[in-house]
């Protein structure tokens, strides 16, 4: 309360936590137009992509404040203060969900509230106070860019907040101040990390923004914050060396979620972190395309791995007995990849793997056990994954070589119940498959015995797409629903596409005789599929948007 004026709280009701805004209202994005002239535009895009993936702080709405429900029978709006009658534990939970300034101002309500604030676990998002240390550019009529930022005052204020709170720390998100705090030896950031360790922080997000070029090294003190349950690191030039960690020690005994965003970490250090995190359930590599060059998953606790817009020579699931989901998404520009670049996706011991995708024949080389899956590979106990229930594929149907491998991929997953296929455009088409190819394809177990739902995204009405859907309709004996999502998102084209697909629904050769069978045609209208949707373990199908 010594940091801000303790005025009477406004009467705006608190809002539930949401993802950080991706609009200019977010102060981080107002920094991007003023980026240094040496920063490529792609770097600004990288920063935006990272901020769209990191978890949202409970107070990330930025405008929530406390509102008491007063009796409407009392003139002048006065009456019974129902919020203050709540138990201390519930009040503390409410206060912890407010932006830090609003939480501090609750001390003005009464002595009870003044005592409550220090005992409330700290929730701090530095974007909530960022505007207090920034001045609008005088030449900017809209006031939506910053000409001067008092980084020292911002850093000092954060230090006072962190040192002044007795703990514990529930959640701290630092996405604006890390660059200044880590400069000149990083003394401020090192002090903060010591405080995080001493005050039992549970969730920590450290984004080194706005840092160009990316030269700051993450202090080794981050490895001493043993209380962490969730940790996201972004835009760090180097992760600390783990060679000095005690052998067999559990560095992060409570860590359940770990994310690296454009942060260089060596393969051996990632291996060591997985060994030192015995309850880790979720690992995310976001925009990591320099290191690690080889990602090895050895963990007896991991349930979900997300390889998001990242590049590597190999992604190998070596031993992961609890792994349920392997999420792959590549949206990197072709110029970054090179014509012949491929990532080898190797699946070893993962008996509980249920969700996989998006697999791309143009980008991924699939290896099961010790066998590389190629066109014509025969299914066998060593080349199939019977546990898989949801499969997502991204295919360029205009590239004959890629489309031909589809039947082989499907045979590797004999028990797939839901199939997602995303059609991608080919820069240089190399021939399309006609229906004769699909007609001659031999039996595919998942289509014959298990597949109930097929979702085809980015449908353009090309003949190669239509003949593939016809193949699925004539082979999938238990198919109940097929959803076709248009590429252009034009509702007016729905009727035209529906007419083209009508013959599939009414075909006498349709394999499924289920009375509930239907083909739904939808305009895309913008997909809400994102990193947060893909990483949400409460969703049974992370690809269903």
> 144-192, pLDDT tens digit by residue?
444 578 888 999 999 999 999 998 999 999 988 888 888 766 789 999 9
Say what percent of the chain tops pLDDT 90: 46
**Under 8 Å between Cβ of 63 and 23:** no
Do the domain assignments include residue 336? no
In the predicted model, is pLDDT for residue 7 greater than 50?
no
Total domains present in the chain = 1
Segments of 361-432 assigned E as strands: 364-368, 371-372, 390-395, 418-423
Do the domain assignments include residue 94? yes
Do the domain assignments include residue 106? yes
The tokens describing 285, both together, are: 């590599």
Do the domain assignments include residue 102? yes
Average pLDDT estimate for 452-474: 91
Contacts of 308 (CB under 8 A, 6+ apart): 53, 284, 285, 286, 287, 327, 329, 531, 534
Reported as a pLDDT band with limits 50, 70 and 90, residue 135 is low
Do the domain assignments include residue 466? no
Between residues 401 and 305, which one has the greater pLDDT? 305
Cis peptide before 292 (omega within 30 of 0): yes
Do the domain assignments include residue 104? yes
**What is the extent of the structural domain holding 96?**
87-119
In the predicted model, is pLDDT for residue 255 greater than 60?
yes
What are the helix (H) ranges across 59-206?
88-96, 100-105, 111-119, 127-130, 151-164, 178-181, 187-198
Do the domain assignments include residue 224? no
Average pLDDT estimate for 510-528: 75
Reported as a pLDDT band with limits 50, 70 and 90, residue 257 is very high
Do the domain assignments include residue 97? yes
């Amino acid at each position: 309360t010594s940091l801000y004026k303790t005025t009477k709280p406004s009467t705006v009701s608190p809002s539930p936590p949401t993802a950080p805004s991706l609009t200019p209202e977010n102060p981080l994005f107002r920094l991007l137009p003023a980026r240094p002239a040496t920063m490529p535009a792609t770097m600004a895009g990288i920063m935006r992509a990272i901020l769209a993936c990191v978890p949202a702080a409970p107070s990330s709405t930025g405008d929530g404040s406390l509102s008491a429900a007063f009796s409407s029978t009392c003139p002048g709006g006065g009456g019974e203060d129902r919020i203050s009658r709540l138990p201390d534990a519930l009040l503390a939970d409410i206060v912890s969900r407010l932006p830090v300034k609003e939480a501090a101002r609750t001390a003005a309500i009464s002595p009870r509230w003044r005592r409550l604030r220090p005992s409330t676990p700290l929730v701090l998002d530095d974007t909530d106070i960022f505007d207090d240390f920034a001045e609008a550019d005088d030449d900017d009529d809209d006031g939506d860019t910053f000409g001067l930022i008092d980084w020292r005052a911002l850093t000092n204020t954060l230090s006072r907040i962190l040192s002044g709170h007795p703990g514990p720390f529930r959640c701290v998100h630092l996405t604006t101040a890390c660059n200044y705090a880590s400069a000149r030896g990083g003394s401020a950031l090192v002090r903060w990390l010591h405080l995080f360790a001493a005050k039992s922080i549970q969730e920590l997000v450290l984004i080194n923004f706005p840092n160009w070029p990316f030269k700051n090294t993450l202090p080794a003190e981050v490895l001493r914050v043993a209380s962490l349950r969730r940790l996201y690191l972004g835009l760090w030039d180097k992760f600390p060396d783990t060679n000095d960690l005690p052998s067999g020690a559990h560095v992060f005994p409570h860590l359940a979620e770990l994310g690296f965003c454009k942060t260089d970490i060596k393969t051996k250090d990632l291996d060591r972190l997985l060994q030192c995190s015995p309850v880790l359930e979720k690992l995310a590599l976001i925009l990591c395309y320099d290191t690690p060059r080889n990602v090895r998953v050895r963990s007896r606790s991991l349930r979900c791995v997300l390889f998001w817009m990242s590049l590597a020579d190999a992604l190998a699931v070596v031993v992961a007995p609890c792994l349920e989901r392997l999420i792959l998404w590549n949206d990197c520009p072709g110029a970054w990849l090179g014509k012949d670049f491929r990532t080898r996706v190797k699946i070893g011991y993962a008996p509980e793997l249920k969700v996989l995708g998006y697999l791309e024949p143009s980008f991924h080389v699939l290896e099961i056990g010790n066998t590389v899956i190629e066109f014509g590979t025969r299914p066998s106990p060593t080349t199939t994954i019977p546990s898989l229930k949801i499969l997502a594929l991204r295919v360029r149907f205009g590239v004959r070589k890629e489309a031909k491998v589809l039947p082989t991929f499907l045979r590797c997953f004999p028990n797939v119940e839901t199939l997602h296929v995303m059609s991608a455009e080919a820069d240089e088409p190399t021939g399309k498959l006609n229906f004769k190819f699909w007609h001659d394809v031999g039996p595919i177990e998942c289509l014959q015995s298990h597949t109930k739902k097929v979702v085809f995204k980015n449908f353009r009405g090309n003949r190669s797409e239509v003949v593939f859907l016809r193949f699925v309709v004539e082979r999938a004996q238990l198919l109940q629903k097929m959803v076709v999502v248009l590429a252009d998102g034009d509702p007016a084209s729905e009727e035209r596409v529906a007419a083209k697909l009508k013959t599939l629904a009414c075909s006498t050769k349709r394999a499924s005789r289920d009375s509930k069978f239907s083909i739904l045609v939808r305009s895309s209208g913008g997909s809400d599929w994102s990193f947060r949707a893909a990483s949400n373990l409460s969703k049974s199908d992370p690809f269903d948007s």
